[in-house]
Structure 1
Amino acid sequence: MEPAEKYLFTYKGFYFQPDMASAEYLDTLEDFEIRDSDVFLVTYPKSGTIWTQNILSLIYHEGHRDGTEKVDLLDRVPWLEYNIRNADYISRPSPRLFASHLPYYLAPKGLRNRRAKVVYVVRNPKDVLASYYHFSKTSRKLEEVEDFGIFMERFLAGKVLASLWLDHVEGWYTHKDDFNILFLTYEEMKKDLKSSVLKLCNFLGKRLTEKEVDAVVDQATFNKMKADPRANYEFMPLDILDHSKGPFLRKGTVGDWKNMMTVAQSERFDSVFKKRMEKLPFKFCWDINEES
């Protein structure tokens, strides 16, 4: 069950990708200097990270909205723990936007002064699992597990990149009072994107005109993103993503897990996750055609 060291390494009880981060670099993040204007987008993998990266970029950068700037998401909202392009985060102009899969206890200490903002997006874990399984096929950095049942058991045991979904979501929610944090669900964003964009703008203190909000919503739809070279992650190097095995942005739906899981697998999933999930405050929608 233990993942191969070639693909994952453990740092303080959490799984990272070995050739994209190091223990030495992760050590520095605890004292990473936080500015009051910083915005951190935090997610468990496959929970709408790129979608929300794109929305934040559209909200903050007029040049992204009106199409005058061709800066991709990896430069707009770079990864804190995976500095793929060796960017100088310290001299980056404010406001800085970052994406991260870090658990709450590895977040920079400075975030706990509750001035910088954290946006946490959570998605129903069965869809996370389905998306994760497909992603493992296109990623050159993750171990490809052909058998979905085996992959599911690894996911349920937290033997995957970013460890256990339950621990990640529970950790950030339980410690919410330590941070200035807004929780959004992937499903509420799918159901009513405009309301979610307005909620984000309100939390971030960004005053956009109605026309600008409509432009953000229009450009953040799945099909527009999939066609946008700045947002669809097709700019990722071939040693990280194998684009021939499918697009990084695949379906972006709610309920795709039903196309993957047998009834027995769904029941097995529930037997492991359900009790702890019931203590979470989120009302998960399991199918976009059904009300949560």
Structure 2
Amino acid sequence: MAAEHLVWRELTAEEKHILEVGHDDSNRNMKDQICFEKQRMIIPRTYLKFMDDMYNFPVKKDDIWIVTYPKCGTTWMQETVSMLINNVDQEYGKLPQIFRSPFLDIDTLMDGNEKGEGLQVPEDTPDFMKKMMEEFSKGVIPFARKMSGRRVLKSHMSFDFLPPNLEDKCKVVYVARQPKDCIVSFYHHSINMPLHGYQQSLSTFAEEMMKGVVLFGDYWKHLESGWKLRNHPNVKFIWFEDMKKDSKKVIEELSVFLEHPLSEEKVDQLVHHVSFDVMKLNKTANPSAMMKLPEEKNFMRKGQVGDWKNYFSGPELEKIDNWIEENKKRTGIQLPE
């Protein structure tokens, strides 16, 4: 079944210029992107190769999909959910998260770049894991289709791009984050991750994000796709800020939502396991280890609420606040305090 409702267009001259000057030549996909106008989704042209495979992905009733705009707590939620449904089994947790919870969109970002250059397996990796990496490198969607047991799948695509009626077929966890912290985190991610190659200032990135001319497109359009489904019985809408405020409460709610009860002891173990400082040092949960990133470019940077206060002020902050207020009124979305 073709995803005929997904109609794309070429970028405008202005949009092309923004991407051209904004990225170095480390990944040509970042400069060659297209736009799905209705969804305001900007994505590398290579997505067209995988669009139908994503839309027609065979969903199982016990699947768990984690859907987010970038830098909204995705990795944190992947670790939380994958360990929760496996009873916080530490042996299971030694398997790299990319295998426990594959990122379905990654082939779009890495197409034309050897996966071995972006995700590297340490020399002391067990043979079975090397074999998994070999299968993974052939294509993440085929890898995910073959997974046994209860699958935890991740995507940064909004709901229009995912299997139709996904929320009626399985469980979906949508994670959202306050826009100002999202801008700051996404900027540092785009600067530090070799697959992005961003080379402009935070102020420029903020302007581009307000225009929606960044990878994965318009923040508000994506957030709105999750917000509209927040009351669906198979969708758990969670704010990053609530996870930071009381991770134990969120884990207990997830346990009920996913119909996988945990003992009080296991809940406490999971709270500790997914605490930021513990996760940052966990080489199987923090992608930095497999990407061989230096400490100053750690995939997990701060994980804070309110970090934007260290970056935005004056007229720039006023402009961002106006952007937020306009979109809150337009969409009816209620941001956390």
* Correspondence 1:243 to 2:299: no
**When the two structures are superposed, what TM-score results if normalisation uses the length of structure 1?**
0.88
Deviating 4+ runs (over 3 angstroms): 175-179, 235-238, 242-245, 278-283
1:44 partner amino acid: Y
Change (3 A) 1:37 1:189: same
* Correspondence 1:60 to 2:85: yes
Aligned to 1:260: 311
Distance in structure 2 (CA, Å) of the matches to 1:154 and 1:90: 35
Aligned to 1:47: 72
Aligned to 1:7: 30
Structure 1: which 5+ residue stretches go unaligned? 285-291
1:30 CA drift (Å): 1.3
Which of the pair has more CA radius of gyration?
Answer: 2
1:157 CA drift (Å): 0.5
2:106 partner amino acid: Y
1:90 partner amino acid: R
Aligned to 1:109: 164
- Give the SS at the match of 2:95: coil
- Give the SS at the match of 1:33: coil
1:262 CA drift (Å): 1.9
Q: Deviations over 1:212-241 (max 9, x none)?
A: 111110111000000100111123435xxx
- Give the SS at the match of 1:41: strand
Aligned to 2:247: 193
Q: How many residues align?
A: 278
Aligned to 1:23: 48
- Give the SS at the match of 1:109: coil
Change (3 A) 1:173 1:43: same
1:274 CA drift (Å): 1.1
Aligned residue runs from structure 1 range 70-85, under 5 A: 70-83=94-107, 85=136
- Give the SS at the match of 2:144: coil
Residue 171 of structure 1, aligned match among 217, 225, 240: 225
* Correspondence 1:94 to 2:149: yes
Aligned to 2:323: 272
Distance in structure 1 (CA, Å) of the matches to 2:52 and 2:82: 28
Distance in structure 2 (CA, Å) of the matches to 1:280 and 1:90: 37
Aligned-CA RMSD value: 2.1
1:39 partner amino acid: I
Q: Judge which range, 83-92 or 198-207, deviates more.
A: 83-92
- Give the SS at the match of 1:217: helix
Residue 186 of structure 2, aligned match among 132, 137, 152: 132
Aligned to 1:289: none
Q: Judge which range, 247-256 or 22-31, deviates more.
A: 22-31
